[in-house]
Structure 1
């Protein structure tokens, strides 16, 4: 039986989602290179275990420290790609918005690993950086350079790819065939983000339909983006089974009315340290089961053609299921 599999990679405090479509095509949404735990993450994880930072780093957990254990849960997207999709091409890469925790690793994947790419999605925003902008942070100037070339259609190895700056309600070959609908952004939202020089609300918000089930993937969408979506869509168009928590599960990405409309069974948070404005309890008020890559590692959701859903942790252990839908069709 055919299926769609969604890989929510544990990349620390960033995003990287890979979709295996029944068509055989692969979609990647954002990327973040993370094989180290920032100290803020270590402090937060230690507090969650009732440990001091020293105990977290040296205390034993099945023959290794808690620090080593949580580091072992992290997945480098390049290594994950090599282990699971080696020698395959990437049909589409979608850059939800131009923040570095959503594009760290572009140079490694496309210039280093030289993954073949056919389509690059990006919005026509005006965000810019200079090399000196990277002097005081841990991000890599090469990732921004790779991004600039990719959005011009240059792959870096002499090959080219198509570039798409699609917006809400646009349709076309290959993305509707793969069950993708663009819920956001609009050009007005992109222009608004350019004016305030803050780009979360220019995020691609995508709906994936398969087997009678729905998944919503909203990048870092915040209230203006959710308000805009709610104004254009009714509840029947937003209802979903799985929601990837916007903005890493922060309260800024949570909209009570939008979550009411979506009514998800599961909410998946891609996050390193628990945000100080964590909205997990807010999602639970909607009777949603909240799962975090912080504790489960990479999470995979497999949707079968009959609507059955399997949700597994990084070891392949079953976390949750949803039963088949009698009326589901492939």
Structure 2
């Protein structure tokens, strides 16, 4: 039985159209990535939790925390190429539910090369599920137990500033004070990421970290703007041009606290919040940076 080329095209027009759309979309993403030549950081809009994604011009992609649920997957699909199913680095700052729960979904969806964490545990089913997920993933595990630097080529680095001693295996009901604090550096621009640390840890950082490693252009404010964090001595030491708060709209904790908002205002530090702005995106060429809002 013979089928003419015209009939073949008619029968397979939909397949050709779909293939064209896939190729076109792929090309568009490649052009966008090639043109960027810059650091991009997204404070993902995951509600009451933390999830921060960054990408570098060399293609490196990393995720710090995963928020409270699977909504992180929808956010990642908005900021990563649709064909991409891998992450170079995932960091769990501490095993509270609003930081770790979404990472379980991330490990199910993505191939992860390196997982960094403190090794601190909580007596929860979620903490146990995380341990099991890490084993299944088969990624290299980096224990954050001292100050260390992860280098990304010649122009970018992630300085792990805290904790400064081995805590792996410890079981803590409230692990906030030993959450991973990191400082992302790209050229002349720096971003300090403080997880859920509180005043005690802020004081330890001010006392032990060299001034030039603590001062940062951008600060991701600690613990969703809780009154237990963002002390004046710490904010003065960091001296940021802008601060970002990852927080859920109308959350039951009253975050960010009015006293914290007043402190930022008193010090003249502008604030951008995910509950008001949606996903927050930072672009930088290594010399200057911009902060963009989703809405």
Change (3 A) 1:194 1:167: closer
Measured in 2, the distance between the counterparts of 1:123 and 1:285 equals 34
Quote the offset at 1:186 in angstroms.
1.9
Quote the offset at 1:84 in angstroms.
2.8
Contact 1:263 1:286 in 2 (8 A): no
Contact 2:242 2:269 in 1 (8 A): yes
Instruction: Compare 220-229 and 76-85 and name the one that shifted more.
Output: 76-85
Q: Which secondary structure does the structure 2 equivalent of 1:227 belong to?
A: helix
Task: Report the number of matched residues.
Answer: 253
| Residue 171 (structure 1) aligns with | 149
| Residue 123 (structure 1) aligns with | 118
Runs of 4+ aligned residues of structure 1 deviating over 3 Å after TM superposition are: 171-178, 193-196
Quote the offset at 1:247 in angstroms.
0.4
Quote the offset at 1:261 in angstroms.
0.8
**CA-atom RMSD, angstroms?**
2.4
Q: Select the structure with the greater relative contact order (CA < 8 A; seq sep ≥ 6).
A: 1
2:159 is aligned, of 181, 201, 212, to: 181
| Residue 266 (structure 2) aligns with | 285
What does 1:166-245 align with in structure 2 at a 5 Å threshold? 166-172=144-150, 174=152, 178-187=156-165, 190=167, 194=170, 197-245=173-221
2:223 is aligned, of 240, 247, 263, to: 247
TM-score by length of 2: 0.78
Residue segments in structure 1 that go unaligned for 5+ positions in a row: 36-75, 131-140, 316-330
Residue segments in structure 2 that go unaligned for 5+ positions in a row: 1-35
Instruction: Compare 175-184 and 198-207 and name the one that shifted more.
Output: 175-184
Q: Which secondary structure does the structure 2 equivalent of 1:32 belong to?
A: coil
Measured in 2, the distance between the counterparts of 1:175 and 1:184 equals 23
Quote the offset at 1:196 in angstroms.
5.8
| Residue 87 (structure 1) aligns with | 83
Structure that is richer in helix per residue: 2
Quote the offset at 1:2 in angstroms.
2.2
Contact 2:247 2:256 in 1 (8 A): no
Contact 1:167 1:182 in 2 (8 A): no
Contact 1:168 1:184 in 2 (8 A): yes
Measured in 2, the distance between the counterparts of 1:301 and 1:230 equals 25
Change (3 A) 1:8 1:179: same
TM-score by length of 1: 0.70
Measured in 1, the distance between the counterparts of 2:152 and 2:39 equals 15
Measured in 1, the distance between the counterparts of 2:285 and 2:64 equals 21
